[in-house]
Structure 1
Amino acid sequence: MTETLGERPWMTSAETRAVFDALEARGGPGCARFVGGCVRNTLLGARVDDIDIATPLTPDDVMQALKAAGLKVVPTGVEHGTVTAVSGGRPYEITTLRRDVETDGRRAVVAFTGDWHEDAERRDFTMNALYAGRDGAIFDPTGRGVDDARAGRVIFVGDPHVRLAEDYLRILRFFRFHAWYGRGAPDAAALGACAAHKDSLSTLAAERISKELLKLLAAEDPRQSVALMAETGVLEALVPGATELSRFNALVEIELEQLFSNDALLRLSALTADDEVAAARLAERLRLSNDQRDRLVASKGQSPRITSWMSPRELRRAVYRIGARAFADRVKLAWAASPRTATTPQWRGLLALGESWSPPAFPITGDDVMSAGVPKGPMVGQVLAEVEDWWIDHDFIDDKFSAIEKLKAVAQGMAY
C-alpha cells in the first residue's frame, strides 16, 4: 500500500494548486512533486515553512509555464535548475530533476534529467530524498527514507564519503539534522565520514557555515549534536576555543526548563570563553551581521559584574550602562555558569526586573552645559559625563533642578 501524507492545508491551498496547475498544463499530470523538507516535516508532524517542488521540466519550460499562468517568476538559480514561483505572495522553489556531473566539495556542475531516482541519488540524506504527489502519495526512491525519518535516523544517501565530497557543508548539515530530527545514537558510518573530512570545512564560505551553525544551535535540544561535534573535532574546526560545553549544556537546560526561546546566538556565546576580543574575531571568522557581532561581543563583557544577589539599584545601573539585551544575555550566561538549584528564583527575578525597567532619559543636555558657562568643545562632554555619573549614583533621580545644581557645581570646578 502506498504511503500518503493525506491532504494538508499547505498542499491544497489555492496558491499551491495554482503552481501545480501551471506545471501540469505544460508537462501533464504527475510532472511535479513536493520534495524534501515539506514532505519530511509533514510525515513527522513538524511545521512546514518552505514548499519545494521537483519536476522533470527544464527551467525554461518551468518559467514559460508559470508566466503563461500569470504567476510571478524569479530565476533564483537557473544554472542549477532552480526557479522560484510566487503565488498569492508565497514563494515556491521549483527545481528540475538533476544529477551531478562534477563537484569540488563547494559547488557542483549539474545535468538535468527526467529520472526521479537519479535526482534522489544526489540528495544528502534518505529522509530528504522523499517526494509526494499533489494528492499526498509518497514516492521513496531510496526505499528507506520514510522509515529513517520516522525512526530519527540521519543516514546519507549511498556512500557518505561521496556525499560529503560533493559538498562539505553536509558535514555540518549532518549534525544539524541530527539535532532537529535524530533520535538515539548517530549513524556510525556518517559520523566517521564527517570526522575524516572535517579539515575540508575550511574551504567553505563563512556565510554558509554560520547560517548552518546557527540553524543547528536553534534546535530545541542540540546538546548531543554539539557533543558529537566536539568529539569528532568538527566543533574546533568551526569555532576555535569552543570549550565551554558545560556552560552550553546548562544554558540549554535552563531554556528548556524555563520555557525560554531557543537562542542560537546566545548558545554560541555560551560555548566560548568570556573574551570580547576573541568574540569579535569569531564574529569576523563567521561573517556574522553587525548586529550579531555587537550582541556576541556585548555578551562577553565583565563589567559591571552580574551576580544573582544584585540589588535592584545595581541592576538598574547595569541595564542603563550596557542595555537591556546585553544585561539579559549576561544574566543567562552567569546563571548557566553557577550552581542553579538554589539560585533559580534570584536569576529569574533579575531577568524579570531587567525586562520591566525602562531606563529614563538623562535630563541634562549639551545646551544646558554651555548655558552653565562651559565653552563649546571637548569640555562639554566631560562635564556631561561627570554629571551623568552623579545622576546614576543617585539612582536616576527624577529631579532636573538637582541635576542642574550639580551641573553648576561641576562647571564651576572645571578649569577651562
Structure 2
Amino acid sequence: MTNKLYYFLILILCLTSCKTENKIEGNFLKKSQTEKIDTLVNRYHNLNRFNGVILVFHDNSIIYDKSFGLADYENNRPFSNKTTFKIGKLSELITARIIHGMAENNKFQLSDRISKYLPEIDSDLTINDLLNHQTNLPSIESLKEEYPDLKYSTIEYANLSNVSSTRSEDSELDYNILGELIENISNKSFQENVTDLSEKVGLENTYFEKKDSSLAVGYLYHNYRGDGLELQTSPQYNPVTRFSSQGIKSTPYDLKKIIDLNSDNKLDIQGYLQNDGFSYSVINNPETNICIIVLSNFRHPVGGEIANSISAIIENEEYNLPLERKRVEIDKSLLKDYSGLYSLNEQVDLEVIDENDSLFVMMGPNKIHLIPQSSNQFFMEQMDASMRFLRNKEGLVNEVVLLDGFLEGNKIERK
C-alpha cells in the first residue's frame, strides 16, 4: 500500500486567509516567476495544506523568502526569521555532520563496526551502514506493534531488530544509534553536541532540547469533531523516540548553512511528522545552484509538491496547481458516465451513484456527496479528498484517481 493510499484511508476513517510576508528577493527571479510562486503557495495555503516558510537560494543569494499564515494561531504569533520548526528526517543532515566531524577528528573510522563503541549492540553493522541506511533495520513503529509492552530503548530496539527485520526500510533506528554513538564518544549529551556544531558553523537557532518560545505550534487539519474540516493543535510527540533521527528543531536559514557544508550533494528530502503537525521538503541541486527549503507547521505532506513546482517555475517548465475546493457548474449528463463500481482492492469496492443531478460515493455505510470542482474532478466536503475520473482512448470512463489532498493519487479500475 503506498503512502498516499494510506493517507487517503486515514482521511476516510476521520470523516475531515492568507498572510504573506515579503522579506528579501534577489534579481535572479523575474517578476512573473515570483508571482507564479506566490499564486502556487497561496493556493496550498488557502486549501489548508501548507502554512509556513518558503526559502529559495540561487548560489548564496536569497531569491525568494516569504511566510504564509501564522506560527501560532491561538496567540496570533507571526513567523519570523527566528521561528523554529520540527524538521523530522532533515535532522539526519545535522546528525550526519556531527558524525563526519568526529571521523575527521579521528574519533573513529566510518568503516568501524558500531559494536566496537557500543558493545551492548550485538551487530556487525558499520557506522557507514547506519549513515547510509544500509541496515535493513525495521521502523520503530513496526517494532512497537510487534512488542507493544516493551518501553522504547534504542539499544533494546536495535537488538530486537536483528531478529525482527523482514524488509528493508529507512529506519529511524539507524540515526538514533548514531546519536547514542555521538554521546558515548563525546561524553556529552546529544544537545551539547548540537550546541558545539552550532557554535562551529554559525547556526543561530538549532537544537534538540531546550525551552523555546520561538517554536511554531504544529497543527492538523481534518474532521476531528465531525463538523467538517478544521484546525486542531497537534499532540506532543515523544522526544526519546525521535532523538537524533527526527527530533531536531531548526530554521530554514540554519538548514541552508548545514546544506552548504555538503554543497556538492544533491538532496531531495521530503516528509512529515505524522502526529506532530509538521512537514518539510528540501531540494538542493548543485548543477543549477538552486536550493529550495519548505518548512510547514501543518502536517499535510505537500512540501515536496510545492518545492518541485517552484523548481519547475524557476526552470520555466510546466507544473500543476491543485484545484480550489469550490463548486463549478458542469454538464449534468456527465454524471451518468461516472456512476458505477470501482474496485479499491479485492475486498472493497467504491460505488459511485448518480442521484438527483448529483454524484455520491458509498464508503462503507457512509454516503458522501461529491461536489464538482472541474468537469471530471469532485471533492468531498468532510475531508480533504477528491475523485478524478479518467477516460480511455475510446472515451469511456474506466478509472478513478483517489486524491487525498495531493496533486496525484492512486488509480482504481472500474469493474
TM over 0.5: no
Larger Rg, first or second structure (1 or 2): 1
Which one scores higher on RCO, CA 8 angstroms, separation ≥ 6? 2
